[in-house]
Structure 1
Amino acid sequence: MRWTLKPKPKATKIAQLKEALQVDEVVATLLLQRGIETYEDAKTFFRPSLSDIHDPFLMKDMEKAVQRIEAALLQGENILVYGDYDVDGTSSVALMSSYLKTRTDNIATYIPDRYDEGYGVSFKGIDFAHDNDFTLIVALDCGVKAIDKVAYAKEKGIDFIICDHHRPGNELPKAVAILDPKRNDCEYPYKELCGCGVGFKLIQALAQKEGKTVEDLTEYLDLVATAIGADIVPITGENRALAYFGLQVINSNPRPGIKAIINQVKKEELTITDVVFIVAPRINAAGRMKHGNYAVTLLTETNLELAKEYAAEIEEFNTDRREADQQITEEALQQIEAENEQERFTTVVYQEDWHKGVIGIVASRLIETYYRPTLVFTKSGDKLAASARSVSGFDVYNALAACSEHIEQFGGHKYAAGLTLKEENYEVFKQAFEDEVSKTIDKSLLTPEIKIDMQIDLSQVNDKLWRIIRQFAPFGPGNMTPIFMTNNLKDTGYGKCVGEDDKHLRITATQIGKETLVCIGFGLGDKLGIITNKKPFKAVYSVDENYWQGRTSLQLKLRDIKS
């Protein structure tokens, strides 16, 4: 692992913030690294408020979107709420449909079949709308590139409102309204909303026209927080406020569908990390293994007993997903080793019977072993479909764009994308992708990096620091858990491997024979030799808390150690 120490802010700025907030240097430094420079910035950061939520009408086309929906409500038109099959998409559809159902009964939902229709707006979905007399489609978490689909819908007398957060192409669809903060001509002040976040802005605007405020919409924020966590968007600015209040809803009064999931795992209070690893995979499992409709049904159900039944069904999908993901990962690793491709700059693997619903997870798993841009292909109809994942700092979307002559279609983000191509183009594409990445990637990016906020002494880790760090939550991109480094540590002699197969490392560390702190290093069991016989070592860690036999104590969660 590469250890990278973040630049230290200017001493004058640290001194000013220390004085303004009456905090120590460690806290002032951490805040400055997160762009918090004044007392007002800190107040917004530590005490998020619903008043931090921007006016939705600052978003390009919002007035048009609201007018079209209000006209549809007035005229009793049938409205189809259409969204992608992942967590962001299904959460968006649940949010929009449950809000619109408070205004009219003429609402239905549509999630495309992952295998039959693929990602985004489909001709089949538009045909469904036409056959069932829908004259307005509200598309969420997709649609900003659906130029031909929107034109097809128009021919059939169907209007489109698009709520998306993906990067638009050079041309926009001819929709009634396109709400996307990433549009070049959109001056909305916060650009990093997820699809569900954009959907929330639309219901906020609709409610505002009725004289309501964002406070009247807090019941929808459990969905928004779930989508923010699952879609790995920055938890800064407006997203931070939405996630903060969404977590409060999740932990106090979540909708029955989310409550049913939480009941299964029996967790007391969920953090955004718990949402990412407990709630999101279960919602995702529906679209991966069966159909995204199951997730929407769960998230819109108002009866808890029924929601528990739906959640139990989705739990089975999640178990199947886990098994498929494990098996395919093993097969992919064998393929890489058999083809002797360990020395490449990319990982590209293909097997025609791999489950399309889990290839994205498998791509992420392969990066854990071979840290490089990764594509996992499977057969999808008469084409090959792949999920792409990247390493920190490298834009895989741009790399795919450079190979687009071999690709049928692709879309996505800097770190995650999807594509399809003809089977006969697989080998030539695989080489082109390898060539492009080898030419453009900074070779240091092929070693995993730990970004360290600052170097401190063990004596600076105390209950007061921990209490303040806890208030930095919710954590996520743009506001990650603070990571520290400490030099000249020694184990007191009690260091040992723990857990199944001695995978983990437990150390009682001291610095210059003073304070001692228990450290736990998950997956670091093979580094026991570094700390034996009281040899000095340095560690990178986050501060955490340990509950044991009714007592709570501070501990360090080790990320890496070196002699």
Structure 2
Amino acid sequence: MIESKKRWQLTTPNEQAVKEIQQALSLPSVLAKILVTRGIDTAAKAQEFLVDDLSGIHNPFLMKDMDVAVARIQQAIEAQEKILVYGDYDADGVTSTTVMMTVLQDLGANVSFKIPNRFDHGYGPNAELFKEAHEEGVQLIVTVDNGVSGIEPVHLANELGMDVIISDHHDIGDEMPAAIAIIHPRHPEGNYPFGELAGVGVAFKMAQALYGDIPDHLTELVAIGTIADLVPLHGENRVLVKEGLRALQDSPMPAIAALADVAGVKQSDITEETIGFMFGPRINAIGRLQSADPAVRMFLTDDTSEARSLADGLDVLNKERQAIVKAISEQAIEQVEARYSEQLPRVIIVAQEGWNPGVVGIVASKLTEKYYRPSIVLSLDMANGKAKGSARSIEGFHLYEELAKNRDILPHFGGHPMAAGMTLSANDVDDLRERLNKQAETALTEEDLVPVVAIDIPVTLNEVDIDTIEGMRKLAPFGMGFSKPKFYLHGVNVASIRKIGANQTHLKMELAQNGMTLDAVGFGIGELGDELTPDVKIDIIGDLQINEWNGRKKPQMLVEDIRTDEWQLFDIRGIRQVSRWSKLIPKDKHVFVAFQPETESAFRTLLEGPIVLAGSLADVAKTKEHLILLDLPDSEEQLASVLKQMRPKRVYAHFYAADSQYFERIPDRDQFKWLFAFVKKRGSFDFGKNGDELAKHKGWSRETLFFMLQVFFELGFVTLNNGITEIAQAPGKRDLSEAPAYKKREQQIALEHKLLYASYRDLKEWFDAQVSAKEEEIWI
């Protein structure tokens, strides 16, 4: 038995809705099932979801203040006033800045940009930078991807005689800045149809309004910023990203070719995963470590060599960022392990001086992923007594609301249910840790601490083919709000299994079902290679992919989780070195069982943990799950009794036999007849003195010879007189099988045949029969 590491949530789609979508849109059943599972359960909804052009985007003037913003910008362009685009240092902010710079330059504006430095200025409008802009003669500031929280800096700008237009998508507080226009998809006085645009999406809507037409030459930037900012990929976001991904594959922008080159991908192969795992991290890296200005310059330049040089710089910084994250993550994990050992708290908080505050959010994500707990990672600055950091959460723990209960020690914090940032006194870190864990005792149940995975549909192996997997691109892009589909395979056989990778940390399997097979790869789950037995039936969930090698395409499942309710038999017979198989035994809930007292003595120093004699198993049976059979029982019934006392999830069969009789066999009747005739003819014989020579003469083993003599003694055919064997007086007629020694050897050979030397399949069938019989007894 193997338990899943996550909670599986499987939805069964409505069959009628599936048929309707299939017929109306000519989609394969698997795709239709996925759409229905995701709530897209009518042909009309599916048609809207699958729209393949920019016709699905909205009129930008539906946004509150868009007309005011456009009029003021046009006025500034006509008067050649200095305009400043004020951005942000992440990928969304960088692409937002580029979009706004591009449209304003195209329209002939006198425009420049500024991006605050994460370490010097922090996030959002900054009074120092606004003063600097005024000194440079700026008359109009247009923020992108920030601004709705900048009440005081905007007030300062107004006092200095500068107008401010805010374009943002972050949550609006109780008070808004006194800007001349606030362009926001969720403006409390607006009624824009789609409220979940990224910052770059809002900038794109302003560009659309300023151009007077859809600026399809900017969709590449929208796709990058939207995917990197992890906003939901539905509605207008989906339309823009889908169009942007197409544009990225043959974009003339030097920056796109340069990014693809440094990331090692073909530009024509760019997908949402390319952006999420390759482009986004490189663009974000620069803002995490220094000024993000070079990233904007990379996107704005028309010079191929300059773009490549700037992309190389981003790549170098990303590698540096990766090294920093790795080092901090290792230190953070060491703190967790040292502080908590195996008894993890509900909320993890780690802090250390010298940690780069620009990457602690990534480290918090890694801790949450590893431990599935809300995690806070803080960088301590003991010089000014501050702790600054980021937090990531799990379902069931609303991070912003829980932090808000501690405003007295959190002078600066912000965020949403799943992520947050904060600054507090270093002296209050322990207090915050204690408080949040006390809050989590109420907010989080034990079940909440087990990660949930939503599964789209069950499939059988005959439904998995290249066409189906390639057809899933019709549902792309996948991301936040519309994740890549997860598939469920039920009751498939593990036809073959092996551990792969330099450290044997990964798993390669061949799954089989009704004559069909499918390759499966599981990264980081190599330990299951020691826990899955041949032909065991498993349930498995994961992502279906196409593996291409030497021009040949094959379907493949990327495994996320595995479970099986079947008990398992592990065959460790014949492995003489105990150290080779003992490391395969689970660390807890196991019991070593011996049938022979001498076995306990032989294995005592070789195993960690006590060895229980079969007769005493009842005392511990109910607390154990894994049964290790060290030696052979005296009978099948004795072993069946052990299985009846214990319902093991796993059985490890070693079946050590100190004196195996299997290959000695039982001498045939002609051998017995010859030996009896030999003694009778001689009258007597000293087997102690001459037995070895006789055995050698006949080609028998010494054990065979003396076994036959033992049978004769037990049947009364011979007697022993002063060490000399003689024929008994008037021996009766008795069958050889009546002798206890003969019976015992017969039984032992039969037992060894059934348990020790049987094939794995035959042995498993014998155990299955015992387990089935036992389960029937329990059921009755």
Q: Tell me the distance in 2 between the aligned counterparts of 1:201 and 1:413.
A: 25
Deviating more after overlay: 179-188 vs 153-162: 179-188
* Runs of at least 5 residues in structure 1 that lack an aligned partner in the other structure: none
Go from structure 1 to structure 2 and tell me whether the alpha carbon gap of 1:375 and 1:408 turns closer, same or farther (over 3 Å shift). same
**1:222·1:250 contact (CA, 8 Å) conserved in 2?**
yes
Q: 2:415 pairs with 403, 407, 412, which one?
A: 412
1:499: which partner in 2? Answer: 501
Q: Tell me the distance in 1 between the aligned counterparts of 2:170 and 2:107.
A: 29
Go from structure 1 to structure 2 and tell me whether the alpha carbon gap of 1:45 and 1:385 turns closer, same or farther (over 3 Å shift). same
Q: Tell me the distance in 2 between the aligned counterparts of 1:19 and 1:47.
A: 17
Q: Tell me the distance in 2 between the aligned counterparts of 1:168 and 1:180.
A: 9
Q: Tell me the distance in 1 between the aligned counterparts of 2:442 and 2:542.
A: 34
1:534: which partner in 2? Answer: 535
Deviating more after overlay: 3-12 vs 343-352: 3-12
Output one character per residue of 1:115-144: Cα deviation in whole Å (capped at 9) or x when no partner. Answer: 111111111111111111111111111111
Go from structure 1 to structure 2 and tell me whether the alpha carbon gap of 1:356 and 1:436 turns closer, same or farther (over 3 Å shift). same
**2:124·2:147 contact (CA, 8 Å) conserved in 1?**
yes
Q: Tell me the distance in 2 between the aligned counterparts of 1:520 and 1:418.
A: 37
The structural deviation recorded for 1:486 is 1.2
Does residue 189 (structure 1) correspond to residue 193 (structure 2)? The answer is: yes
1:249: which partner in 2? Answer: 247
SS in 2 for 1:405: coil
**2:6·2:561 contact (CA, 8 Å) conserved in 1?**
no
Output one character per residue of 1:172-231: Cα deviation in whole Å (capped at 9) or x when no partner. Answer: 1111111122333331111111111111111111111xxxx21xx122111111111111
SS in 2 for 1:534: coil
Output one character per residue of 1:249-305: Cα deviation in whole Å (capped at 9) or x when no partner. Answer: 211115212221111133121110111111111111111112111211212121111
Q: What one-letter code is carried by the residue in structure 2 that aligns with 1:399?
A: E
**1:428-467 mapped onto 2 (5 Å cutoff):** 428-467=431-470
Q: What one-letter code is carried by the residue in structure 2 that aligns with 1:400?
A: L
Deviating more after overlay: 499-508 vs 194-203: 499-508
1:371: which partner in 2? Answer: 372
Q: Tell me the distance in 1 between the aligned counterparts of 2:476 and 2:28.
A: 19
Deviating more after overlay: 312-321 vs 18-27: 18-27
Does residue 109 (structure 1) correspond to residue 113 (structure 2)? The answer is: yes
SS in 2 for 1:101: helix
1:350: which partner in 2? Answer: 351
Q: Tell me the distance in 2 between the aligned counterparts of 1:19 and 1:220.
A: 36
Go from structure 1 to structure 2 and tell me whether the alpha carbon gap of 1:23 and 1:312 turns closer, same or farther (over 3 Å shift). closer
Q: Tell me the distance in 1 between the aligned counterparts of 2:245 and 2:26.
A: 28
2:76: which partner in 1? Answer: 72
Q: What one-letter code is carried by the residue in structure 2 that aligns with 1:410?
A: F
Go from structure 1 to structure 2 and tell me whether the alpha carbon gap of 1:202 and 1:441 turns closer, same or farther (over 3 Å shift). farther
Q: What one-letter code is carried by the residue in structure 2 that aligns with 1:492?
A: A
**Kindly, what percent of the aligned residue pairs are identical?**
35
**2:400·2:416 contact (CA, 8 Å) conserved in 1?**
yes
Deviating more after overlay: 345-354 vs 7-16: 7-16
The structural deviation recorded for 1:21 is 2.9
- Comparing both chains, which one has the higher relative contact order based on Cα–Cα distances under 8 Å and sequence gaps of 6 or more? 1
Task: Give the count of matched residue pairs.
Answer: 555
2:518: which partner in 1? Answer: 517
SS in 1 for 2:365: helix
Does residue 97 (structure 1) correspond to residue 101 (structure 2)? The answer is: yes
2:762: which partner in 1? Answer: none
Q: 1:50 pairs with 42, 54, 60, which one?
A: 54
Output one character per residue of 1:371-418: Cα deviation in whole Å (capped at 9) or x when no partner. Answer: 111111113673321111122454312222222221122222332221
Go from structure 1 to structure 2 and tell me whether the alpha carbon gap of 1:394 and 1:458 turns closer, same or farther (over 3 Å shift). farther
Q: What one-letter code is carried by the residue in structure 1 that aligns with 2:232?
A: P
Q: What one-letter code is carried by the residue in structure 1 that aligns with 2:281?
A: P
Q: Tell me the distance in 2 between the aligned counterparts of 1:338 and 1:42.
A: 51
When the two chains are superposed, the root-mean-square deviation of aligned CA atoms in Å is 1.8
1:41: which partner in 2? Answer: 45
Output one character per residue of 1:483-506: Cα deviation in whole Å (capped at 9) or x when no partner. Answer: 11111111223x111122112111
If the length of structure 1 is used for normalisation, what is the TM-score? 0.95
2:403: which partner in 1? Answer: 400
2:294: which partner in 1? Answer: 294
SS in 1 for 2:378: strand
1:468: which partner in 2? Answer: 471
Go from structure 1 to structure 2 and tell me whether the alpha carbon gap of 1:549 and 1:344 turns closer, same or farther (over 3 Å shift). same
Q: Tell me the distance in 2 between the aligned counterparts of 1:37 and 1:484.
A: 19
Go from structure 1 to structure 2 and tell me whether the alpha carbon gap of 1:503 and 1:149 turns closer, same or farther (over 3 Å shift). same
SS in 1 for 2:211: helix
The structural deviation recorded for 1:25 is 4.1
Q: What one-letter code is carried by the residue in structure 1 that aligns with 2:276?
A: V
1:168: which partner in 2? Answer: 172
1:483: which partner in 2? Answer: 486
**1:527·1:561 contact (CA, 8 Å) conserved in 2?**
no
**2:21·2:46 contact (CA, 8 Å) conserved in 1?**
no
SS in 2 for 1:351: strand
Deviating more after overlay: 23-32 vs 498-507: 23-32
2:363: which partner in 1? Answer: 362
Q: 1:422 pairs with 425, 433, 456, which one?
A: 425
The structural deviation recorded for 1:105 is 4.5
**1:394·1:445 contact (CA, 8 Å) conserved in 2?**
no
SS in 2 for 1:37: coil
The structural deviation recorded for 1:348 is 1.0
**1:275-290 mapped onto 2 (5 Å cutoff):** 275-290=275-290
* Runs of at least 5 residues in structure 2 that lack an aligned partner in the other structure: 565-780
The structural deviation recorded for 1:426 is 2.4
**2:28·2:468 contact (CA, 8 Å) conserved in 1?**
no
Q: What one-letter code is carried by the residue in structure 2 that aligns with 1:55?
A: N
Output one character per residue of 1:446-497: Cα deviation in whole Å (capped at 9) or x when no partner. Answer: 222211012222212123322321211111122211111111111223x111
**1:491·1:534 contact (CA, 8 Å) conserved in 2?**
yes
Q: What one-letter code is carried by the residue in structure 1 that aligns with 2:475?
A: F
2:25: which partner in 1? Answer: 21
Q: Tell me the distance in 2 between the aligned counterparts of 1:398 and 1:55.
A: 35
Does residue 205 (structure 1) correspond to residue 206 (structure 2)? The answer is: no
SS in 2 for 1:262: helix
Deviating more after overlay: 462-471 vs 1-10: 1-10
If the length of structure 2 is used for normalisation, what is the TM-score? 0.69
SS in 2 for 1:157: coil
**2:99·2:204 contact (CA, 8 Å) conserved in 1?**
yes
Q: What one-letter code is carried by the residue in structure 1 that aligns with 2:553?
A: T
**1:166·1:413 contact (CA, 8 Å) conserved in 2?**
no
